[in-house]
Amino acid sequence: MNKVYQEAPSNIAIVKYWGKKGIQEPMNASLSFTMSKSISKIEIQHAHSEEELKIDFLFDGQKKDSFLPKIQDFIKRNEKHLSNITSGILKINSSNTFPHSSGIASSASSMAALAKGLYSINQSIGNEQEYNPQVVSEMARLGSGSASRSTQTGWVLWGKTDELQGSSDHYGIEINNQIHENFHSLQDSILVIRKGAKSVSSTVGHQLMDNHPFKEGRLKQANKNIKKLISALKQGDFKIFTEVCEEEAMSLHALMMSSSPGYTLMAPETLRAIKRINKFRDSNHVPLTYTLDAGPNIHLIYPKEQSKIVHPFIKEHLAPLCEDESVIYDEISMPLQQ
Ligand code: PMV
């Protein structure tokens, strides 16, 4: 019996991946940071036998057969890296440290944890020591695009861009050694405006970009924003960072609204919260910005040293706009040596 334990964080993209080409390759490069407290955990056991591979999947200790087709598909797509687990019994037990449908991307962390776990169990059975982060990120990508940015830590770029040598459409790469210390301790407070499931899956959202009337424009904008963001992160420039962050959040939603069919993913409280954030920032001159995923919830981003002034503002003016006043206080995770 072989056994491994792995975990992977969720991430939030500042420049968004929205639209695919080929086999799960991005239309443009995206850049995100991983989160500290929002983690998927996975324990995998493998019992050897010559029988056809059998998978048992448990989520939070409960059997969840509805997830099996996704896992089987994942294993099939990655079979060239999983040659030691073609038979026997695989027992997978997974859990998240954060609530489901809270605006935190669980597909990114869970697919990244699955990729790390399956890669490790395969290595352990074969007695192989090497850990290749590019292969693991590539495996995760085939489960969920954004998961390619969750197998590593901190600032991770996924997608080929002229702005960064070694960048690839196939896997994410950490760029932490290029990041100014101003961006090493960002706070990410998630305003949970709605707890329910998303009204449109990201799979459908990506597909809608194929024939989107603004596809060319979006590509240009994403390429411009990657360049701007990398430069702001290097310089420690929070003002430029803010410009990119908010333009990307609004574009993602505008692209969804102008798709055919169109989807409005913000809630009225999302817009009310954004107005309050802008007003608070203008009157207090606090470096504070926000981004959105493909849903109504807001990721409020600010440097750690601003927490003293931002937290009372969240409690008084933003939490009342959230479902059950729910706010999740998370922050960036950076590799230990940083
Ligand atoms: O990884 P997917 O297919 O769930 O797509 C993620 C898309 C966004 O979360 C909206 C943006 C991103 O880059 O994470």
DSSP one-letter string for 286-322: ---EEEE-SSS-EEEEEEGGGHHHHHHHIIIIIGGGS
CA-12 nearest atom, ligand 1? 14
CA-294 nearest atom, ligand 1? 10
Q: Buried (b) or exposed (e) across 305-326, using 16+ Cβ within 10 A?
A: eebeebeebbeeebbebbbeeb
pTM: 0.97
Classify residue 272 as exposed, middle or buried by CB count within 10 Å of its CB (0-12, 13-18, 19+): middle
Residue 337: what pLDDT? 66
Residue 123 has pLDDT above 90, yes or no: yes
> What is the per-residue pLDDT across 235-280, written as a single tens digit (0 to 9) for each?
999 999 999 999 999 999 999 999 999 999 999 999 999 999 999 9
DSSP one-letter string for 210-229: TT-TTHHHHHHHHHHHHHHH
CA-145 nearest atom, ligand 1? 1
> What is the per-residue pLDDT across 300-316, written as a single tens digit (0 to 9) for each?
999 999 999 999 999 99
Mean pLDDT of 55-63: 96
The helix (H) or strand (E) run that includes residue 124 is helix 106-125
CA of 168 to the centre of ligand 1 (A): 17
Beta carbons of 336 and 152 less than 8 angstroms apart:
no
Q: Is the CB of 30 under 6 A from ligand 1?
A: yes
3-class SS at 87?
strand
Residues of the chain with CATH 3.30.230.10: 2-174
> What is the per-residue pLDDT across 173-212, written as a single tens digit (0 to 9) for each?
999 999 999 999 999 999 999 998 777 889 999 999 999 9
The helix (H) or strand (E) run that includes residue 242 is helix 238-257
Q: Is the CB of 152 under 6 A from ligand 1?
A: no
Residues of the chain with CATH 3.30.70.890: 179-331
3-class SS at 90?
strand
Nearest one of 223, 227, 245 to 235, comparing CA atoms: 227
Which residue's structure tokens are 């459908």?
204
Q: Is the CB of 198 under 6 A from ligand 1?
A: no
Q: Which CATH class is domain 179-331?
A: alpha beta
The helix (H) or strand (E) run that includes residue 59 is strand 54-59
What number does CATH give the domain 2-174? 3.30.230.10
Residue whose CA is at the smallest distance from ligand 1 atom 4 = 202
The CA distance from 19 to 46, in Å, is 36
Residue 288: what pLDDT? 98
> Candidates 16, 148, 266: which one to mutate for ligand 1, based on the most atoms within 8 Å of Cβ?
16
